[in-house]
Amino acid sequence: MISDNHAWQTNLKESRFMTAAYDLAMQKIVNGETLLLDGGTSTELERRGAKMQNSYWSASVSLEFFDLLVDTHRAYIDAGADVITVNSYASSRLVLGGTENEKNFDTINKKNIEAALIAREKSGARDVLIAGSMSHQVSWKRDGTRIKQQIETVIPKEKLDSAFNEMVKFHEIGGVDLLLLEMMAIPYRMKSMFDCVSLSQLPVWCGFSAKRKSENGKIASFHDEKVSFEEVIKLSLDYNFDVCGIMHTSADLISECVELIKKHYSGPIMAYPDSGYFKSPNWQFTDVIAPNHLADLSSKWIDSGVNIIGGCCGLGPEHTEAQAKLK
């Protein structure tokens, strides 16, 4: 059960438009059941043969490998996922702007959402939720042979607001059940993102990313070791998010991050780690956690108060299937 149950349910009912499927899913959480997110959409697409691009990673997959995208979503549903994630993490203008595929921006995003809707329809699992992924990711730019770090690219607030509002509208019109904020880690971009999504009537789930500081072992923002993980969490507290959690973070950090989230947030908590590492434009499936090991860890996270489990980059339907046994 979630803590401060009555207060959370009151906020939930007052603030958002909820589809029947979403309402049912939230009621399951209230009743103490566990929901299951899918695994990594983009990395599973890569594993199945989709080509990743240097500047915009998986954004154009919906143009070139649409059927594969549908099949990937379907594989997660068949494995037991209660929530599938639209392949829109890297398809905002922050990523596609200035690339050869900016002209296809509308088509890419419409087809990304369409693929998830088709997969759900084909599966017959009408209660599966579709989460519209939103990130503050920018394109993977190179400085000579080196890929620039995310925090090295400073973006004006007006450009951030425009890009985020545009993605919110795509997801609203497209018919997703919720907005899923992924890899929240850079404070000024987070603030713009939070302000924009708070204007939407769609429910919002907020996923933070973290890493351990090299010099002192403390947990920090994934993209900026100067920012503590608790600072990242606190930025979300003024917003009425239905779910908060830790994602795209090493599995061995999840438990510590969950405890830090619980210090400040009393609503439902999600946890979905990654495994392997990114070397643009490809995911490196190195020492990927075994499905049964992930399930064992997930069981412990559930015992500690996590309500939603899943996987991120590097984790596939076989991991979802192992976690599904915990529901």
Q: What is the pLDDT of residues 101-141, one digit of tens each?
A: 999 999 999 999 999 999 999 999 999 999 999 999 999 87
Q: What is the pLDDT of residue 16?
A: 63
Site of tokens 């690219």:
153
Q: Which domains does the chain have, with CATH numbers?
A: 5-324 (3.20.20.330)
Tell me if the pTM is above 0.75. Answer: yes
More confident: 6 or 227: 227
Decide if pLDDT at 285 tops 70.
yes
Peptide bond into 203 cis (omega under 30): no
Decide if pLDDT at 195 tops 90.
yes
Q: What is the pLDDT of residue 273?
A: 98
pLDDT tens-digit readout, 46-79: 999 999 998 899 999 999 999 999 999 999 999 9
Q: What is the pLDDT of residue 274?
A: 98
Q: Calculate what percentage of the chain has a pLDDT beyond 70.
A: 93
Q: How confident is the model at residue 13 (pLDDT cuts 50, 70, 90)?
A: very low
Q: How do the residues of the chain divide into helix, strand and coil, expressed in percent and rounded to 5?
A: 45, 20, 35
Supply the mean pLDDT for the chain: 93
Q: What is the pLDDT of residue 5?
A: 53
DSSP 193-252: HHHHHTTSSS-EEEEE-EEE-TTT--EEESS-TTSBHHHHHHTTTTS--SEEEEEEEEGG
Output the 3-class SS for 51-115.
CCECCCECCCHHHHCHHHHHHHHHHHHHHCCCEEECCCCCCCHHHHCCCCCHHHHHHHHHHHHHH
Q: What is the pLDDT of residue 280?
A: 86
Q: What is the pLDDT of residue 1?
A: 47
pLDDT tens-digit readout, 139-166: 987 655 555 678 888 999 999 999 999 9
More confident: 154 or 262: 262
Q: How confident is the model at residue 17 (pLDDT cuts 50, 70, 90)?
A: confident
More confident: 12 or 291: 291
| Region of poorest pLDDT, from 145-154, 186-195, 267-276, 316-325 | 145-154
pLDDT tens-digit readout, 199-255: 999 999 999 999 998 878 899 999 998 999 999 999 999 998 999 999 999 999 999
Cβ neighbours for 52, distance < 8 A, ≥ 6 positions apart = 42, 46, 58, 281, 282, 283
Q: What is the pLDDT of residue 6?
A: 43
Q: What is the pLDDT of residue 152?
A: 82
